[in-house]
Amino acid sequence: MWYDNVSLTTDYNYVCSRIRLARNFDNALFPNKLSDSEAKKLIDNTLNELSNISTDLGINTNANILDRVSEIERMSMYDRKILNLTLAKKKTPTGIILNDSEDISIVINGDDHIRLQTFSVGISLYYLSEKANRIDDYINGHFDYAFNDKYGYLTTYPTNIGTGMRAAVILHLPASTQSKGFSKLVSGVGRFGVSVRGLHGEGKENFGALFEISNPKTLGISEKEIIDTITKVANQLNTNERKLRESFLIEKRLEKQDEAYKSFGVLKYARKLSLKDALSFISSLMMGSADGLIKLTNQNKLYSLMIGSQASNLLKMTGRPLNEDEIDEIRAEYIRENIGELQ
């Protein structure tokens, strides 16, 4: 999968990038206005029209109808960033085209008729934009989009009108979260018209120190401006993190190395782990590995451990219902088996 190869260093804290496009067909009602029979017809027609996409674009894909997919699998797709929570819980007819490495997905009749998403490791928004636009042009060659000369692409939610593009970069910022000025820095970048939010946790907590930088609006701004702004803010946050990490390596090297080794020890030998503890210790290990304080055989798979540790993925893996204690036990076992060894 695409997320099995995330490589971080002291200087480079970019986990992954995403481009998402929202589109609607010109000759059909929005998904929330369609009856189930109309939705099924639209999905069947779309899947039929796009049935040669693998051959024509050279990407191996599989098509499916989400209401035929189990609830556990749909929640697993949410935790693997393929679906948002609304789509994972959606009961009305929805289709999906997904490629083998899961870095390309096309949701049909979700929030909009088309929700096209591309992922990659690192920071690569322009590359992803080119890939998404190529697929978008292919779909548009089969269907006319709802488009207005003044407002741009017409979407179900007003916040997506315009380019219909959502760009995002996820960074690992463990040192920044320990800094007193981080909240002020996050508030400050808001003036650029971007959103910075933690990926995991409740309230002000953010387990795993992962942050997503994205654009909250798509109207009145070009795709290039969106990407340039997200990239600028991501680079600013990365620079701040790099400076703090360099300071830690000078002033607190042994302390940070000790944290990394202790985190490895817990993850390697624990028999029960809550999600909060798992993400927190993996984050500490990611930091230590990126800074060269600890060397692991599977250091590029630490981010995929965060994804695999989510309850839905553990339930999918075991194929049976689990209570909370059993999930914590299976999580610890999963991490022990996949964390690798010290080099």
What tens digit of pLDDT does each residue of 156-203 get? 999 999 999 999 999 999 999 988 888 888 888 778 889 999 988 765
pLDDT at 189: 79
Determine how β-strand 195-198 pairs with β-strand 165-172: unpaired
pLDDT at 180: 85
List the domain boundaries for the chain: 2-243, 253-338
Provide the residue type at 245 as one letter. Answer: R
pLDDT at 205: 73
Of the CATH numbers 3.30.590.10, 3.90.76.10, 3.40.50.1220, 3.90.550.10, which one belongs to the domain with range 2-243? Answer: 3.30.590.10
| Short-list 10, 47, 2, 61, CA closest to 293 | 10
Return d(Cα 120, Cα 16) in angstroms, integer.
6
Q: Contact at 8 Å (CB) between 10 and 288?
A: no
> What are the residue ranges in the chain where pLDDT is below 50?
none
Return d(Cα 306, Cα 189) in angstroms, integer.
27
Taking only Cα atoms into account, the Rg of the chain, rounded to an integer number of angstroms, comes to 21
pLDDT at 191: 80
Lookup result for tokens 């964390």: 339
Return d(Cα 190, Cα 229) in angstroms, integer.
11
Q: Contact at 8 Å (CB) between 226 and 250?
A: no
At what angle are helices 324-338 and 253-269 packed, to 10 degrees? 110
Q: Contact at 8 Å (CB) between 254 and 291?
A: no
Provide the residue type at 77 as one letter. Answer: M
